[in-house]
Structure 1
Amino acid sequence: MIVEKQLIRKISWRLIPFLGLLYLIAYIDRQNVSFAKLQMVDALGMSESAYGLGASLFFIGYFLFEVPSNLILAKVGASKWFARILVSWGLVTVALAFTQNATMFYILRFLLGACEAGFFPGVLYLLTLWYPSAHRGTMVGLFMIFSALANAIGGPLGGMLLDLDGLHGLAGWEWVFIVTGIPAVVMGVVTFFYLPDNPARASFLTADEKAWLGAKLASEQVGMDDSASHALRALIDPRVLLMALCFIAFPLSAYGLSYWLPTVVKSFGVGNTANGFLNIIPWVLVAIGLYTVPRAAAKAKSKTPYIVGPALFGVACLLLSALLQNHALQFMFLCLAAAGIFAGQPVFWSLPSRFLKGAGAAAGLAAINAVGNLGGFIAQNAVPWVKDATGSTIAPMFFLAACLFVGAMLVLVMTGMTARSEALAARARPST
């Protein structure tokens, strides 16, 4: 007899640390621009707003190629497609070290988004092939902890690499891109040989374990709306569109804070390396939130409070960071805000699996993530614009707080509408 907990633990030890390591590399390669910025703006002669535009073009490439990338992944398998994603984004990251002007920076940031597109929703789709629905929120939380680790590692790493300025004739910001890009290329090769595409191809599972898992996953799809099983229909499913709209606020506030935090800390008068180490603190709190909130939500009947509650906590902390004048208190509330912004996101991602499956899941998850991540494009343009308009490095937190509050309210609307729709559908089904 298959013991579910033992099987889930076995799968998790094989998949989650490895996928998390890839996400760690991905997140460092997204966020390295926030540290490179501290030298690169002057080196390329750009304004804060112009640099913000270039950094944000990542999200345009990401948006355009997210859904096609995930549909290809569903056809060719995770091992091949993730390998392609990793190698290509690693090479583009290294190429950023040789940026000569603003135009080249803009092109490479767009290409970086296009190359990485499909990775995060691809992992979400992969988890639907490996885990029964009851376990997915927890697994997404464990997976996303690596984004917090990436920021914790990336901060000190970025600061120390900036201090290599002049080594072997390279600027510090050039070292940032070279050192952070190479691991993606190496892990792309490793991924091709290590990562199984699905349970049926997993050599570490027994035949009985594969059979039990296949039956369990199939039983959860019985009675699921067939309109979501087709990729194109999933893209216009009202539930997908509403979730995409809700999700915009979370990447917007997350990227706005993580992109701007090194600049805020620098305004306190600290050096590059000290700045990097101070940036560990918020991501330790984020990791704690990503571990505890999804586990608590897994035991609860209603998931909504575990999405909205952390978001509203983040709103309050962002407002306090902008209202208070003491640097230590500002930094403390920014750290707590980061935890609030991230902690409920894994619970959010457990919602689409209630109505998406197969190619529809690949397309729908990619669409939600692609549209939502346009929030990153908004944040990386709006935050420096607010700073330039106000002359304050902390004033952009008001903007992030307002956006996050709107997102939390939209989640309440979305979950309420979804619950009513499911209740009506249940009453309409003929009794047996």
Structure 2
Amino acid sequence: MSISAVPSALAASAVTKAGRRLVWLLVLLYVINYLDRVNVGFAALRMNADIGLSAAAYGLGAGLFFIGYFLFEVPSNLIMHKVGAKVWMARIMVSWGVLACAMAFVQGPASFYLLRVLLGLAEAGFFPGIVLYLTYWFPRAQRAKVMSLFMLGVPLASVFGAPLSTLLIAHGAGWFGFDQGWRTMFFVEGLPAILMGVLTLVLMPSRPVNARWLRPEQAEALTATIDAEDAKQVGNELGVLASLRHPRVVALAAVYFGIVFGLYGLGFFLPQIVSGLQDQFGVKFSLVQIGLVTAIPYAVGAIVMILNARHSDRTGERVWHTAIPAFLGAVGVAIALYLRTPTLAVAALSVCTAGVLAAIPVFWQLPSTFLGGYGAAAGIALINSFGNLSGFVGPFVTGALKTATGDFRSGMWVIAAAMAVAGVIVLSVGRGSARRLPADDSPPPG
């Protein structure tokens, strides 16, 4: 990875090494993470009938993941900031890997609900922990680009995970003693998290000073560069409680809620939406073809995400680079199921997916403009945890509307509305920040 515009040669060389050593490791971890989170969407093609789940019950179970996730998100990030990323990330990955494997043993709605809650508890802190981790290693001018590379885990998990998951479902019956292929899929796809959790202890230094592959002067220069940027940009650090109640943190949580509403609405239901195109247009897809078609929007989204992040880093503009993708994504998902051919429908879903993915890496540059230290750990976790509550609301509402109406159109309109509101709020936050004096970033009274 080529990085430029770092103030000193030593810091620049440290950033280049960090890019080569860490970024692709983090991408791999996120591929595993996202696949274990949303492979339930592929399992639903067979699992729902096997264990007696309606669309509404499935949506509830898919979303319950985020209840456990929400409850432990802020404490997890504060623990990581205190004990270090290496140990805490290893704990997160091993525990979620064990529970991801355990999904192979669900027998009915109750065990499905329980394991989804426990999986959320185990995984809590991974994503905001990585967002915080990147602020330890990369100066601000590179963060959107690096974040977009990390976010490649989402489309990669879908582009490669969709065919893998559907192949395992279609042909995995009888493996490891499981009668159904979807059970084999859960078990096989949970194993890499356990393995990588152990390897993280070796491959993921907590801070530059802990990296054996950096010379001491490189680590010192990189840390000094980032500390100087934080002192200039953030000023006095907010405490944990002050950051949690800061108006801009609350507003950004609402923005993220709307963006992630689209991410998980698609993540959990896109395979079923693609499957539904068969009846709508009189076409026929095999299970593996559904996986391949599902991968198309994510492949398009990956390209748009990288381009948007690079342009944002180059111009230094963050607000419009978040809002415009959110608006485009809203339009794409609103019109997708009203188009007259499956090709146009998939193209519109690709626009929505590209909008969601392009918005997220740039969005995550906004909290660090006014948060640092423990305040950043708490604020980033709060934004992520409240935003990810849409991972509960979105699948539940989408599934309930599908059960009530018989199709996904009304659910897609709800996703579109959430993304459009997110775009409006981020523009409002951006304008308010431009008018506000630095002194207004001090903690609220009381």
TM over 0.5: yes
- Asked if residue 240 in structure 1 is aligned to residue 255 in structure 2, the reply is no
- Asked if residue 153 in structure 1 is aligned to residue 149 in structure 2, the reply is no
Q: 1:329 aligns with which of 329, 332, 344?
A: 344
Of 159-168 and 336-345, deviating more is 159-168
TM-score (norm 2): 0.92
- Asked if residue 57 in structure 1 is aligned to residue 61 in structure 2, the reply is no
Give the C-alpha shift of residue 225 in structure 1.
5.5
Partner residue in 1 for 2:261: 252
Partner residue in 2 for 1:298: 313
Measured against aligned partners, the alpha-carbon deviations of 1:383-423 in whole angstroms (never above 9, x if no partner) come to 11111222113442212111111111111111111221246
Separation in structure 2 between the aligned mates of residue 231 and residue 34 of structure 1, nearest angstrom: 36
Q: 2:20 aligns with which of 13, 23, 33?
A: 13
Give the C-alpha shift of residue 232 in structure 1.
2.3
Indicate if the aligned counterparts of 2:265 and 2:391 stay in contact, CA closer than 8 A. Answer: yes
Separation in structure 2 between the aligned mates of residue 123 and residue 387 of structure 1, nearest angstrom: 34
Partner residue in 1 for 2:103: 96
Amino acid at match of 2:384: N
Separation in structure 2 between the aligned mates of residue 227 and residue 233 of structure 1, nearest angstrom: 12
Partner residue in 1 for 2:184: 175
Partner residue in 2 for 1:286: 301
Partner residue in 1 for 2:4: none
Indicate if the aligned counterparts of 1:2 and 1:208 stay in contact, CA closer than 8 A. Answer: no
Indicate if the aligned counterparts of 1:78 and 1:126 stay in contact, CA closer than 8 A. Answer: yes
Separation in structure 2 between the aligned mates of residue 187 and residue 294 of structure 1, nearest angstrom: 28
Separation in structure 2 between the aligned mates of residue 422 and residue 185 of structure 1, nearest angstrom: 48
Give the C-alpha shift of residue 301 in structure 1.
4.2
Amino acid at match of 2:411: P
Partner residue in 2 for 1:201: 210
Aligned pairs, how many?
A: 426
Partner residue in 1 for 2:292: 277
Give the C-alpha shift of residue 228 in structure 1.
4.1
Q: Aligned-residue CA RMSD in angstroms?
A: 1.6
Indicate if the aligned counterparts of 2:261 and 2:394 stay in contact, CA closer than 8 A. Answer: yes
Partner residue in 2 for 1:314: 329
Separation in structure 2 between the aligned mates of residue 259 and residue 422 of structure 1, nearest angstrom: 42
2:377 counterpart SS class:
helix
Amino acid at match of 2:156: L
Amino acid at match of 2:322: I
Separation in structure 1 between the aligned mates of residue 87 and residue 178 of structure 2, nearest angstrom: 37
Measured against aligned partners, the alpha-carbon deviations of 1:285-310 in whole angstroms (never above 9, x if no partner) come to 11102211010011224322111111
Partner residue in 1 for 2:281: none
Separation in structure 2 between the aligned mates of residue 403 and residue 282 of structure 1, nearest angstrom: 20
Separation in structure 2 between the aligned mates of residue 227 and residue 6 of structure 1, nearest angstrom: 29
Separation in structure 2 between the aligned mates of residue 17 and residue 281 of structure 1, nearest angstrom: 22
Amino acid at match of 1:92: L
Separation in structure 1 between the aligned mates of residue 336 and residue 14 of structure 2, nearest angstrom: 44
Partner residue in 2 for 1:262: 271
Measured against aligned partners, the alpha-carbon deviations of 1:40-65 in whole angstroms (never above 9, x if no partner) come to 11111121101110111001111110
Gaps of 5+ in 2: 1-7, 279-283, 442-446
TM-score (norm 1): 0.95
Gaps of 5+ in 1: 427-432
Partner residue in 2 for 1:373: 388
Partner residue in 2 for 1:429: none
Give the C-alpha shift of residue 164 in structure 1.
2.1
Identity %: 39
Measured against aligned partners, the alpha-carbon deviations of 1:354-392 in whole angstroms (never above 9, x if no partner) come to 111111111111110000001111111011111122211
Give the C-alpha shift of residue 424 in structure 1.
6.9
Give the C-alpha shift of residue 3 in structure 1.
5.0
1:166 counterpart SS class:
coil
Partner residue in 2 for 1:430: none
Measured against aligned partners, the alpha-carbon deviations of 1:62-85 in whole angstroms (never above 9, x if no partner) come to 111000000110111111000000
Partner residue in 2 for 1:37: 44
Question: Cα 1:416–1:424, aligned 2, differ >3 Å: closer, same or farther?
Answer: farther
Partner residue in 2 for 1:390: 405
Partner residue in 1 for 2:428: 413
1:222 counterpart SS class:
helix
Q: 1:360 aligns with which of 367, 375, 382?
A: 375
Measured against aligned partners, the alpha-carbon deviations of 1:12-60 in whole angstroms (never above 9, x if no partner) come to 1111000111111000001110011111111111211011101110011
Q: 1:164 aligns with which of 171, 193, 210?
A: 171
Give the C-alpha shift of residue 324 in structure 1.
1.5
Amino acid at match of 1:421: R
